[in-house]
Amino acid sequence: MTTALIIIDTQDSFFHTPYWETSHFESFKQNMSDLVNYFQANNLPIVKVLHVDDVDQNSPFCLLNGFVKPMDFLPSKYDRVVHKTVHNAFTDTGLLRWLTRNGIRKLVISGIRTEQCCETTTRVASDLGFAVEFVLDATLTFAMTSPFTSKVHSVEEIQAHTALVLNKRFATITSAQDYGISE
């Protein structure tokens, strides 16, 4: 079964959001870099997904602002690059057609944000019949405040919840270590 790494929304846009913070960024960056190196060393395809919002021209996700580009630590070349305007990488990108045409049946999901575009892409991929591995430590998110209780949910809580709801339903939860990468 051919496997592809899907790197979701790991783009400069996030550096310009009001919620950007760096406390988990270095470990995410290292895990993501190790994962990319593994896929490159094994000649496996890598897909870059970039989120675009061209409705709000003030958004850091608007193409006109110049921030919709991969973060500097990522490779400069990919087997496929797609732009999406929704939370999953399939609906408006042509990605499904490309994956099918290239015989790819297993996806390894990584990127930003854990509970948003990474989780949504995982659910859709599973529904489309792909085997999915969700590399939890190669995803990044930010603390969030509940609109119902005003409780601040930590990155760890959000990632634990995502792992809970995805594991063995939509994906297998993995870590960078599972790809022969030493921590």
pLDDT per residue over 36-70, tens digit each?
A: 999 999 999 999 999 999 899 999 999 999 999 99
Beta bridge partners of 2: 104
- Rounded mean pLDDT of 117-130? 98
Q: Residues 151, 145: contact at Cβ < 8 Å?
A: yes
pTM summary value: 0.96
Rounded to 5 degrees, what angle do the CA atoms 9, 12, 17 make? 90
Alpha carbons 3 and 15: distance in angstroms, whole number: 30
- Rounded mean pLDDT of 173-183? 80
Alpha carbons 167 and 173: distance in angstroms, whole number: 6
**How many C-beta atoms lie closer than 10 Å to residue 131's C-beta?**
14
Residue-wise pLDDT tens digits, 26-38:
999 999 999 999 9
The overall average pLDDT reported for the chain is 96
Would the pLDDT of 183 be above 50?
A: no
Domains of the chain: 2-179 (3.40.50.850)
* Exposed e or buried b per residue across 67-76, where buried means at least 16 C-beta atoms within 10 angstroms of its C-beta: bbebbeebee
Q: Residues 55, 15: contact at Cβ < 8 Å?
A: no
Tokens of 151: 């409780």
Would the pLDDT of 114 be above 80?
A: yes
